[in-house]
Amino acid sequence: MTLKTIKAEPYELEFDPSRTALVMIDMQRDFVEPGGFGEMLGNDVSLLRSTIEPCQRLLAAARAAGLFVVHTREGHRPDLSDCPPAKRLRGGLECGIGDKGPMGRILVRGEYGHDIIPELYPVDGEPVIDKPGKGAFFATDLDLLLRNREIQTLIVCGVTAEVCVHTTVREANDRGYECVVPSDCVASYFPEFYRVALEMIKAQGGIFGWVSDADHVIEALA
Protein backbone atom coordinates (compact mmCIF):
# COMPACT_ATOMS: atom_id res chain seq x y z
CA MET A 1 0.00 0.00 0.00
CA THR A 2 1.49 3.34 -1.08
CA LEU A 3 -0.12 6.30 0.59
CA LYS A 4 -0.26 9.57 -1.30
CA THR A 5 -1.07 13.08 -0.15
CA ILE A 6 -3.42 15.71 -1.57
CA LYS A 7 -2.82 19.35 -0.71
CA ALA A 8 -6.19 20.34 0.68
CA GLU A 9 -8.02 22.37 3.28
CA PRO A 10 -8.30 22.30 6.24
CA TYR A 11 -5.18 20.08 6.07
CA GLU A 12 -3.47 17.58 3.77
CA LEU A 13 -5.35 14.39 3.02
CA GLU A 14 -3.50 11.07 2.96
CA PHE A 15 -5.11 8.43 0.76
CA ASP A 16 -4.48 5.02 -0.74
CA PRO A 17 -5.22 5.19 -4.51
CA SER A 18 -6.21 1.52 -4.57
CA ARG A 19 -8.94 2.35 -2.03
CA THR A 20 -10.06 5.61 -3.61
CA ALA A 21 -12.97 6.28 -5.97
CA LEU A 22 -13.82 9.23 -8.17
CA VAL A 23 -17.54 9.97 -7.93
CA MET A 24 -18.92 12.16 -10.69
CA ILE A 25 -22.28 13.53 -9.61
CA ASP A 26 -25.10 14.29 -12.08
CA MET A 27 -23.16 15.82 -14.97
CA GLN A 28 -26.35 15.50 -17.01
CA ARG A 29 -27.42 17.43 -20.09
CA ASP A 30 -30.53 18.82 -18.38
CA PHE A 31 -28.44 20.47 -15.66
CA VAL A 32 -25.37 21.50 -17.65
CA GLU A 33 -26.22 22.09 -21.30
CA PRO A 34 -27.66 25.25 -22.83
CA GLY A 35 -31.29 24.60 -23.77
CA GLY A 36 -31.84 22.07 -20.97
CA PHE A 37 -34.10 22.01 -17.93
CA GLY A 38 -31.68 24.06 -15.79
CA GLU A 39 -31.58 26.88 -18.29
CA MET A 40 -35.34 26.66 -18.80
CA LEU A 41 -35.72 27.47 -15.09
CA GLY A 42 -33.78 30.70 -15.68
CA ASN A 43 -30.35 29.52 -14.51
CA ASP A 44 -27.03 30.51 -16.07
CA VAL A 45 -25.57 27.15 -17.08
CA SER A 46 -22.17 28.67 -17.89
CA LEU A 47 -21.55 28.60 -14.13
CA LEU A 48 -21.87 24.81 -14.25
CA ARG A 49 -20.04 24.41 -17.54
CA SER A 50 -16.86 25.82 -16.00
CA THR A 51 -16.47 22.43 -14.28
CA ILE A 52 -16.27 20.44 -17.52
CA GLU A 53 -12.62 21.09 -18.35
CA PRO A 54 -11.19 20.43 -14.85
CA CYS A 55 -13.47 17.38 -14.50
CA GLN A 56 -12.19 16.06 -17.83
CA ARG A 57 -8.58 16.42 -16.67
CA LEU A 58 -9.32 14.81 -13.33
CA LEU A 59 -11.29 11.98 -14.92
CA ALA A 60 -8.39 11.24 -17.28
CA ALA A 61 -5.91 11.26 -14.37
CA ALA A 62 -8.15 9.00 -12.26
CA ARG A 63 -8.54 6.54 -15.14
CA ALA A 64 -4.78 6.57 -15.78
CA ALA A 65 -4.12 5.94 -12.07
CA GLY A 66 -6.56 3.01 -12.06
CA LEU A 67 -9.04 4.56 -9.64
CA PHE A 68 -12.54 3.19 -9.39
CA VAL A 69 -14.74 5.69 -11.26
CA VAL A 70 -18.49 5.95 -10.62
CA HIS A 71 -21.01 8.27 -12.26
CA THR A 72 -24.44 9.22 -10.99
CA ARG A 73 -27.59 10.56 -12.62
CA GLU A 74 -30.59 12.01 -10.83
CA GLY A 75 -33.83 10.75 -12.30
CA HIS A 76 -36.82 8.48 -12.12
CA ARG A 77 -38.50 5.51 -13.74
CA PRO A 78 -40.74 6.48 -16.67
CA ASP A 79 -43.87 5.71 -14.62
CA LEU A 80 -42.50 7.96 -11.81
CA SER A 81 -43.26 5.23 -9.27
CA ASP A 82 -39.93 6.03 -7.51
CA CYS A 83 -40.58 9.78 -7.41
CA PRO A 84 -42.12 10.97 -4.15
CA PRO A 85 -45.20 13.10 -4.94
CA ALA A 86 -43.74 15.79 -2.66
CA LYS A 87 -40.69 16.04 -4.93
CA ARG A 88 -42.75 16.09 -8.14
CA LEU A 89 -45.26 18.67 -6.97
CA ARG A 90 -42.91 21.02 -5.10
CA GLY A 91 -42.52 24.43 -6.68
CA GLY A 92 -45.72 24.09 -8.68
CA LEU A 93 -43.69 24.23 -11.88
CA GLU A 94 -45.55 24.49 -15.17
CA CYS A 95 -43.00 22.04 -16.53
CA GLY A 96 -41.48 19.78 -13.86
CA ILE A 97 -40.38 16.19 -13.22
CA GLY A 98 -41.92 13.80 -15.73
CA ASP A 99 -43.21 16.55 -18.03
CA LYS A 100 -41.98 17.04 -21.57
CA GLY A 101 -39.08 19.48 -21.38
CA PRO A 102 -36.73 20.85 -24.01
CA MET A 103 -34.58 17.67 -23.97
CA GLY A 104 -37.25 15.04 -23.34
CA ARG A 105 -39.20 14.19 -20.19
CA ILE A 106 -37.56 15.94 -17.25
CA LEU A 107 -35.47 13.77 -14.90
CA VAL A 108 -36.77 10.58 -16.47
CA ARG A 109 -34.38 7.72 -17.18
CA GLY A 110 -33.73 7.00 -20.82
CA GLU A 111 -34.47 10.58 -21.93
CA TYR A 112 -31.85 12.59 -23.81
CA GLY A 113 -31.63 15.33 -21.18
CA HIS A 114 -31.25 12.81 -18.37
CA ASP A 115 -28.03 11.38 -19.76
CA ILE A 116 -24.46 12.40 -18.94
CA ILE A 117 -22.79 15.04 -21.14
CA PRO A 118 -20.55 13.57 -23.87
CA GLU A 119 -17.45 15.33 -22.51
CA LEU A 120 -17.59 13.22 -19.33
CA TYR A 121 -19.30 10.12 -20.61
CA PRO A 122 -18.56 6.89 -18.71
CA VAL A 123 -16.35 4.31 -20.37
CA ASP A 124 -16.87 0.54 -20.22
CA GLY A 125 -16.63 -0.79 -16.69
CA GLU A 126 -17.56 2.48 -14.95
CA PRO A 127 -20.84 2.02 -13.10
CA VAL A 128 -23.62 4.56 -13.51
CA ILE A 129 -25.76 4.93 -10.41
CA ASP A 130 -29.31 6.03 -11.18
CA LYS A 131 -30.52 7.77 -8.07
CA PRO A 132 -34.02 8.99 -7.30
CA GLY A 133 -32.85 11.41 -4.63
CA LYS A 134 -30.26 14.09 -4.15
CA GLY A 135 -27.81 11.88 -2.25
CA ALA A 136 -26.05 9.12 -4.20
CA PHE A 137 -26.43 6.64 -1.31
CA PHE A 138 -30.21 6.90 -0.94
CA ALA A 139 -32.04 3.94 -2.57
CA THR A 140 -28.98 2.89 -4.61
CA ASP A 141 -26.31 0.19 -4.40
CA LEU A 142 -23.42 2.70 -4.33
CA ASP A 143 -22.41 1.80 -0.77
CA LEU A 144 -22.30 -1.91 -1.68
CA LEU A 145 -20.11 -1.26 -4.75
CA LEU A 146 -17.71 0.84 -2.68
CA ARG A 147 -17.54 -1.57 0.27
CA ASN A 148 -16.95 -4.57 -1.98
CA ARG A 149 -13.84 -2.77 -3.26
CA GLU A 150 -12.85 -1.63 0.24
CA ILE A 151 -13.01 2.00 -0.88
CA GLN A 152 -12.15 4.46 1.87
CA THR A 153 -11.68 7.81 0.11
CA LEU A 154 -14.03 9.54 -2.32
CA ILE A 155 -13.09 12.35 -4.68
CA VAL A 156 -16.48 13.97 -5.27
CA CYS A 157 -17.09 16.13 -8.35
CA GLY A 158 -20.19 17.35 -10.17
CA VAL A 159 -23.30 19.43 -9.74
CA THR A 160 -24.75 21.08 -7.91
CA ALA A 161 -22.36 21.88 -5.08
CA GLU A 162 -24.99 22.66 -2.47
CA VAL A 163 -27.55 20.04 -3.45
CA CYS A 164 -26.48 16.64 -4.83
CA VAL A 165 -22.75 17.01 -4.15
CA HIS A 166 -23.33 18.19 -0.59
CA THR A 167 -25.99 15.59 0.18
CA THR A 168 -23.71 12.84 -1.14
CA VAL A 169 -20.70 14.09 0.84
CA ARG A 170 -22.80 14.20 4.02
CA GLU A 171 -24.15 10.71 3.42
CA ALA A 172 -20.65 9.40 2.70
CA ASN A 173 -19.24 11.07 5.79
CA ASP A 174 -21.85 9.39 7.99
CA ARG A 175 -20.94 6.05 6.42
CA GLY A 176 -17.28 6.49 7.32
CA TYR A 177 -15.81 7.53 3.96
CA GLU A 178 -13.30 10.36 3.66
CA CYS A 179 -14.38 12.84 1.01
CA VAL A 180 -12.36 15.43 -0.84
CA VAL A 181 -14.11 17.93 -3.09
CA PRO A 182 -12.04 19.65 -5.81
CA SER A 183 -13.43 23.18 -5.81
CA ASP A 184 -13.17 23.74 -9.58
CA CYS A 185 -14.90 20.41 -10.30
CA VAL A 186 -18.14 21.38 -8.54
CA ALA A 187 -20.48 24.30 -9.23
CA SER A 188 -23.79 25.89 -8.45
CA TYR A 189 -26.22 28.13 -10.32
CA PHE A 190 -25.85 30.42 -7.27
CA PRO A 191 -22.31 31.75 -6.63
CA GLU A 192 -23.05 32.38 -2.95
CA PHE A 193 -24.28 28.82 -2.44
CA TYR A 194 -21.13 27.50 -4.17
CA ARG A 195 -18.89 29.48 -1.86
CA VAL A 196 -20.75 28.54 1.31
CA ALA A 197 -21.10 24.88 0.31
CA LEU A 198 -17.32 24.57 0.16
CA GLU A 199 -16.86 26.55 3.37
CA MET A 200 -19.25 24.19 5.14
CA ILE A 201 -17.38 21.05 4.08
CA LYS A 202 -14.03 22.19 5.45
CA ALA A 203 -15.24 24.13 8.51
CA GLN A 204 -14.58 22.97 12.06
CA GLY A 205 -11.53 20.91 11.14
CA GLY A 206 -13.22 19.37 8.09
CA ILE A 207 -16.62 18.52 9.49
CA PHE A 208 -17.69 16.78 6.27
CA GLY A 209 -14.32 16.41 4.54
CA TRP A 210 -11.64 18.22 2.58
CA VAL A 211 -11.61 20.84 -0.18
CA SER A 212 -8.86 20.87 -2.80
CA ASP A 213 -8.75 21.51 -6.56
CA ALA A 214 -8.24 19.50 -9.73
CA ASP A 215 -4.54 20.34 -10.11
CA HIS A 216 -3.66 19.24 -6.58
CA VAL A 217 -5.60 15.98 -6.88
CA ILE A 218 -4.02 15.27 -10.28
CA GLU A 219 -0.56 16.02 -8.85
CA ALA A 220 -1.20 13.53 -6.05
CA LEU A 221 -2.38 10.86 -8.50
CA ALA A 222 0.64 11.20 -10.83
Q: Which is nearer to ligand C5J, 14 or 44 (CB)?
A: 44
- Is 130 part of the annotated catalytic residue set? no
Q: Catalytic site residue 131?
A: yes
Which of 83, 164, 179, 185 is flagged as catalytic?
Answer: 164
The verdict on 24 binding ligand C5J (CB under 6 A) reads no
Asked if 213 touches ligand C5J (CB under 6 A), the answer is no
The answer to whether residue 164 forms part of the interface with ligand C5J (CB under 6 A) is yes
Query: What x/- string results for residues 55 through 84 when contact with ligand C5J is judged by CB under 6 A?
Result: -------------------x----------
Tell me whether residue 197 or residue 214 sits nearer to ligand C5J (CB atom).
197
- Least separation, in Å, of the C-beta of 151 and ligand C5J? 21
- DSSP string covering the chain: ---EEE--BSS-EEE-GGGEEEEEE--BHHHHSTTSHHHHTT--THHHHTTHHHHHHHHHHHHHTT-EEEEEEE-B-TT-TTS-HHHHHTT--SS-TTSEEBTEETTBTTSGGGSBPGGGPPPTT--EEEESSSSSSTTSSHHHHHHHTT--EEEEEEE-IIIIIHHHHHHHHHTT-EEEEEGGGEE-SSHHHHHHHHHHHHHHHHSS-EEE-HHHHHHHH-
- The contacts of residue 94 (CB under 8 Å, 6+ apart) are none
Residue 159 interacts with ligand C5J (CB under 6 A): yes or no = yes
Task: Identify whether 26 is a catalytic site residue.
Answer: yes
Separation CA 79–CA 58 (nearest Å):
36
Stretch that binds ligand C5J, among 61-69, 96-104, 157-165, 169-177 (CB under 6 A): 157-165
Among 21, 24, 117, 163, binds ligand C5J (CB under 6 A): 163
Active-site choice (115, 131, 134, 213): 131
Query: Is residue 51 part of the contact set for ligand C5J (CB under 6 A)?
Result: no
Name the residue nearer to ligand C5J (CB basis): 160 or 183. Answer: 160
Nearest to 9, CA basis, from 189, 185, 220, 181 = 181
Using the contact rule CB under 6 A, the part of the chain among 8-16, 94-102, 160-168, 209-217 near ligand C5J is: 160-168
Q: Which is nearer to ligand C5J, 74 or 111 (CB)?
A: 74
Task: Provide the annotated active-site residues.
Answer: 26, 131, 164
